[in-house]
């Protein structure tokens, strides 16, 4: 097949192609902006991958705090911050900076605080009691998460404000999702040494310090790249700030797309769950007569089997068109997740062939689920336009902050449940530190909880998705009528 001129240019000068300041076609977003948006989301996900996903493990295995206590702390804080998210969104929607923008200045203001607080989150100061360690961790986590509420709402709000065209918004989300994936994969791939006492002679505490600097501090500042994008869609003159918090919240009743996603994600969260590291951190496999720690094997398998799903992100829009739209793609993803989890449970992880099969199945599941997030964010981005069409108000802030609330409520519930799952399994952090195996009860139930628990959540999450309806005909009508309103206002 012959290559197009754009493809040949990309192969000859990939960096120049990525940072081309001119759009390929009129009304398209220039690749330079898409690249900056991608790098910004990559940095944010590097930070969140550490601060949001590894904090629980740091508290149990480095600070030596009881898992149930950690579950209660992280769950309670996340519930508080989730409820704080709509406040952040309302502030963003109500305030306009002097240059007329309402999103990017918040990204700029929060870059440094988030990077510094994320780094401080993984410092063990050697405080003498578990209570003091808990208090310090809770304070830093609250401060970090509040700042993150503003940044994330503004940063993802750009997916709705970057273009008035739904296809271009989907394109921006597709690039941003790839950046987020790379940032998240870096965290999972670089931290297999968290097993036991770490690797290369480093303790778990030293490993966390090193990667907190690289991923939280440096990744946090990388988010600044997102400032290289533009807010092309701004509120109409009669749709500016000054609305009350309750009126902003009230606009959510018109956003049935967002509310159905909220129900789906919360139903998914109530199922049993367990972080991967607790399952594999003390297992080993024999490879050609050599003993290989399971986390290293898993890191390699995750990287390899995740490639097809990651590659699918490049073709998200085309895949959605082929299967009949974003909604159908969401349904297929959930069904595939259920089926592959059940098959993976049958394969087991006691042997190397078994664990390879588990992650091959997970790789198959990522084919539709690799673009699940793109589909969901595209529909939520479209919902901002729908609400403006219904009410005359642009609600990037409250919409994206509610999406954050959805994510954090899900994290909070899963955190509570994970703490109790570890208690049920009789997990012992001391055994990990001393190199001793967990008890027989743990080994009997850890894999069923890990694989089948989320499968139950996926079944429940399917129910609200069946009621999602936003046909292309309505989407086109919304875009055309909004374009007419904006032209009249100008």
Q: What is the CA radius of gyration of the chain?
A: 23
Percent of the chain scored above 90 by pLDDT?
A: 23
* DSSP 8-state class, residue 290: E
Task: Give me the DSSP letters along 353-395.
Answer: HHHHHHHHHHHHHHHHHTTHHHHHHHHHHHHHHHHHHHHS---
**202 or 355, which is more confident?**
355
Task: Examine the pLDDT at 461 and tell me if it is beyond 60.
Answer: yes
- Whole-number pLDDT of residue 343: 95
Average pLDDT of the segment spanning 92-103: 82
Using CA atoms, how far apart are residues 238 and 393, in angstroms rounded to an integer? 8
Task: Examine the pLDDT at 67 and tell me if it is beyond 50.
Answer: yes
Ranked by mean pLDDT, which of 69-73, 92-96, 249-253, 256-260 comes out on top? 256-260
pLDDT confidence band for 20 (50 / 70 / 90): low
pLDDT confidence band for 294 (50 / 70 / 90): confident
CB neighbours of 228 closer than 8 A, spacing ≥ 6? 32, 33, 36, 37, 40
pLDDT confidence band for 371 (50 / 70 / 90): confident
Helix residue spans in 253-351 (DSSP H): 256-269, 276-280, 294-312, 316-323, 326-347
- Whole-number pLDDT of residue 18: 64
Q: What is the pLDDT of residues 310-353, one digit of tens each?
A: 778 777 777 877 888 788 888 998 999 999 999 999 999 888 99
Average pLDDT of the segment spanning 75-99: 80
pLDDT confidence band for 451 (50 / 70 / 90): very high
Query: pTM here?
Result: 0.73
- Whole-number pLDDT of residue 10: 54
Average pLDDT of the segment spanning 295-311: 82
All domains of the chain, ordered by start, with CATH? 38-228+251-489 (1.20.1250.20)
Which secondary structure element, helix H or strand E, spans residue 36, and what is its range? helix 31-51
- Whole-number pLDDT of residue 236: 59
């Amino acid at each position: 097949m012959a290559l197009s001129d754009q493809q040949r240019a990309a192969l000859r000068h990939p960096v120049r192609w990525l940072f081309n300041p001119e759009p390929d076609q009129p009304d398209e977003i220039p690749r330079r902006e898409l690249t900056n948006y991608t790098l910004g989301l990559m940095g944010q996900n590097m930070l969140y991958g550490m601060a949001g996903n590894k904090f629980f493990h740091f508290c149990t295995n480095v600070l030596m705090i009881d898992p149930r206590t950690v579950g209660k702390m992280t769950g309670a804080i996340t519930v508080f911050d989730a409820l704080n998210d709509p406040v952040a969104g309302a502030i963003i929607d109500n305030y306009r900076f002097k240059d007329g923008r309402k999103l990017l200045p918040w990204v700029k203001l929060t870059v440094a605080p988030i990077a510094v607080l994320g780094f401080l989150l993984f410092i063990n100061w050697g405080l003498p009691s578990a209570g003091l360690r808990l208090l310090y961790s809770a304070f830093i986590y609250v401060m970090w998460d509040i700042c993150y509420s503003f940044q994330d709402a503004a940063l993802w709000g750009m997916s709705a404000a970057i273009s008035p065209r739904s296809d271009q918004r989907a394109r921006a989300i597709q690039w941003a999702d790839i950046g987020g994936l790379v940032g998240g994969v870096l965290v999972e791939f670089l931290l297999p040494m968290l097993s036991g006492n770490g690797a290369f002679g480093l303790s778990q505490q030293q490993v966390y310090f090193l990667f907190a600097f690289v991923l939280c501090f440096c990744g946090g500042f990388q988010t600044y790249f997102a400032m290289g994008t533009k807010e092309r869609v701004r509120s109409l003159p009669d749709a500016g700030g000054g609305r009350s918090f309750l009126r902003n919240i009230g606009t959510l009743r018109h956003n049935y797309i967002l509310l159905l996603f909220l129900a789906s994600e919360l139903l998914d969260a109530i199922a049993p769950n367990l972080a991967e590291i607790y399952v594999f951190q003390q297992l080993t496999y024999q490879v050609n007569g050599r003993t290989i720690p399971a986390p290293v094997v898993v890191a390699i398998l995750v990287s390899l089997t995740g490639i097809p799903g990651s590659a699918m992100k490049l073709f998200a829009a085309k895949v959605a068109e082929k299967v009949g739209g974003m909604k159908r793609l969401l349904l297929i993803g959930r069904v595939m997740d259920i089926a592959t989890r059940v098959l993976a449970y049958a394969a087991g992880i006691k042997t190397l062939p078994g664990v390879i099969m588990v992650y091959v199945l997970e790789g198959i599941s990522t084919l539709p689920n690799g673009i699940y997030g793109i589909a969901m964010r595209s529909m939520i981005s479209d919902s901002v336009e729908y609400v403006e069409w219904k009410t005359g108000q642009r609600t990037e802030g409250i919409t994206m902050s509610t999406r954050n609330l959805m994510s954090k409520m899900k994290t909070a519930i899963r955190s509570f449940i994970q703490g109790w799952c570890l208690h049920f399994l009789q997990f012992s952090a001391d055994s990990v530190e001393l190199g001793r195996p967990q008890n027989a009860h743990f080994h009997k139930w850890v894999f069923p909880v890990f694989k089948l628990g989320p499968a139950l959540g996926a079944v429940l999450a399917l129910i609200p998705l069946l009621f999602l309806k936003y046909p292309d005909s309505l989407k086109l009508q919304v875009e055309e009528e909004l374009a007419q309103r904006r032209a009249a206002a100008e």
